[in-house]
A and B are shown apart, each in its own frame.
Chain A
Amino acid sequence: DGGITQSPKYLFRKEGQNVTLSCEQNLNHDAMYWYRQDPGQGLRLIYYSQIVNDFQKGDIAEGYSVSREKKESFPLTVTSAQKNPTAFYLCASSPPGGWNQPQHFGDGTRLSIL
């Protein structure tokens, strides 16, 4: 079955530590996205990539970094500069056409501070 796989499901970060969240898709989608979800809030866009080797900042990119070396992979690194990283992180992808296509989401990674 095609889909998006996020790992790990739960992640704990120590102070001053960088952590990387994995996102892999086998849907052959060009575009991929990272969202952050805080309790009682909607999803906010962190980074997005419309093509391999290219990515753009979203609304809340500070303290995060990404790479897009392969079409199927879009890992997100939460750096020590992100002072409030506790949240639920969702990765998504969409087929060509972008803005008018529904995005497909992974199961999410819940990140907490130790």
Chain B
Amino acid sequence: AQKVTQAQTEISVVEKEDVTLDCVYETRDTTYYLFWYKQPPSGELVFLIRRNSFDEQNEISGRYSWNFQKSTSSFNFTITASQVVDSAVYFCALSEAGSNTGKLIFGQGTTLQVKP
């Protein structure tokens, strides 16, 4: 069965600290995409990144980086030198080719609080 687990419910850091948000997924499909979304207090989900199951290259975008490891079924997200504006709920999500519906399976979310 497909599942996404974000074991960290809440994380609190002080500004400029690095922080890693964990994401572990389960799927029987060999072809899938993984996504990260940010949900600021305003409520909308903002797309951050997607990664397909055949591309294990890590990616860096400014202060954000993502580490995809199929061997451990993980897709972790690191924020370097965190800022107060990074405070939000972050969701990891899975989409499987086999479903052909575009359905996203979300983790429970990790609430990140960055204190000044």
Contact = CB atoms under 8 A, between A and B. Distances in A.
Nearest to A98: B102
Contact of B102 (A43, A103, A107, A108): A103
B100 interface: yes
B43 A48 contact: no
Given A42-B108, A99-B33, A90 B45 contact: yes
Given A99-B95, A104-B47, A107-B44, A48 B101 contact: yes
Interface residues of B, number: 29
A102 B44 contact: no
Contact of B95 (A48, A56, A100, A108): A100
Interface residues of A, number: 28
A100 B91 contact: no
A53 interface: no
Interface of A: 31, 33, 40-45, 48, 50, 56, 58, 88, 90, 92, 94, 98-108, 110
5 pairs of A and B residues whose beta carbons are closest in the complex? A42-B106, A98-B102, A105-B45, A108-B43, A102-B47
7 contacts: A33-B102, A48-B103, A100-B97, A102-B50, A105-B44, A108-B43, A110-B43
Given A44-B106, A103-B45, A110-B43, 17 more contacts: A40-B108, A40-B109, A41-B109, A42-B4, A43-B45, A43-B104, A48-B102, A58-B103, A88-B43, A92-B45, A98-B100, A99-B95, A99-B96, A99-B99, A99-B100, A99-B102, A107-B42
